[in-house]
């Protein structure tokens, strides 16, 4: 069974940093491109970032470019999202996803003083 | 950036009724993908590559379209279909989602 389990969310002050992790199981993680998608409270879905299977290709939404960094460790079957200079508008549930086939349960990030 | 506009934003359908949700793109895209999300749960991949049903999706669902206009159709509404549906394009970065269509049971 494919599983994606996010962790690392929490309450953080504006301007601070936070790092999310997503541990994958049930499939060969190193064969798949992975994504982070977020959903602000009561709002729709927003694609945040993509990383290819071997980390050669990385893309970001304009809203996070320069502040967020997606990375992966294929030896540990783990996807990461390093978030810096956080803003209140980054408050959301952050999903790790093998986009067209499997999503995690989400990690909640709240940016507030 | 390709903007996806879904319509309607909300709708209610009776059991057995045919339902169509549309997704219009500001520029042509090669494929459209759809997700179903129920309250308090993660989105589920529902239709991919415009018309292919994800595993476990009932065959009363179908997808169609090309270019800038795509649709998700339910041939006969059932109670379990009440959810919010989102379209997604991956033809060009940044990938973008539609704003969602909330489908309720009448």
What's the CA gap between A35 and A51, in Å, rounded?
6
For residues B63 and B35, give the distance between their C-alpha atoms in angstroms, rounded to a whole number: 12
- CB < 8 Å from B in window 6-35 of A: none
Residues A33-57: tens digit of each pLDDT: 999 999 999 999 999 999 999 999 9
Rounded distance, CA B57 to CA A17, Å? 39
Per-residue pLDDT reduced to its tens digit, B63-72: 999 999 999 9
- Whether A45 contacts chain B with CB within 8 A: yes
Instruction: Give dist(CA B34, CA B38) in Å, integer.
Output: 14
Instruction: For residues A22 and A4, give the distance between their C-alpha atoms in angstroms, rounded to a whole number.
Output: 6
Tens digits of residue pLDDT in B19-64: 999 999 999 999 999 999 999 999 999 999 999 999 999 999 999 9
Condensed to tens digits (0 to 9), the pLDDT of residues A76-110 reads 999 999 999 999 999 999 999 998 999 999 999 99
Residue B48 to residue A100, Cβ atoms within 8 A: yes
Residues of chain A contacting residue B57, judged by C-beta atoms under 8 Å apart: none
């Amino acid at each position: 069974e494919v599983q994606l389990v996010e962790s690392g969310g929490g309450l953080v002050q504006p301007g601070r940093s936070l790092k999310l992790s997503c541990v994958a199981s049930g499939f060969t993680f190193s064969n798949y491109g992975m994504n982070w998608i977020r959903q602000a409270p009561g709002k729709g879905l927003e694609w945040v970032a993509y990383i290819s299977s071997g980390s050669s290709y990385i893309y970001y939404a304009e809203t996070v470019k320069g502040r967020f960094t997606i990375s992966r460790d294929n030896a540990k079957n783990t996807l990461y999202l390093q978030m810096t200079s956080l803003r209140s508008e980054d408050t959301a549930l952050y999903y790790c996803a093998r986009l067209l086939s499997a999503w995690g349960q989400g990690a909640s990030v709240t940016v507030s003083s | 950036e390709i903007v996806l506009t879904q319509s309607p934003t909300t709708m209610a359908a009776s059991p057995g009724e045919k339902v169509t949700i549309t997704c219009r793109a500001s520029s042509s895209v090669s494929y459209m993908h759809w997700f179903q999300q129920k309250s308090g749960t993660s989105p589920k991949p529902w239709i991919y590559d415009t018309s292919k049903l994800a595993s476990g999706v009932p065959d009363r669902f179908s997808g169609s379209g090309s270019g800038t206009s795509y649709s998700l159709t339910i041939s006969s509404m059932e109670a379990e279909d009440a959810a919010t549906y989102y379209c997604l394009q991956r033809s060009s970065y940044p990938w973008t989602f539609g704003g969602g269509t909330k489908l309720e049971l009448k």
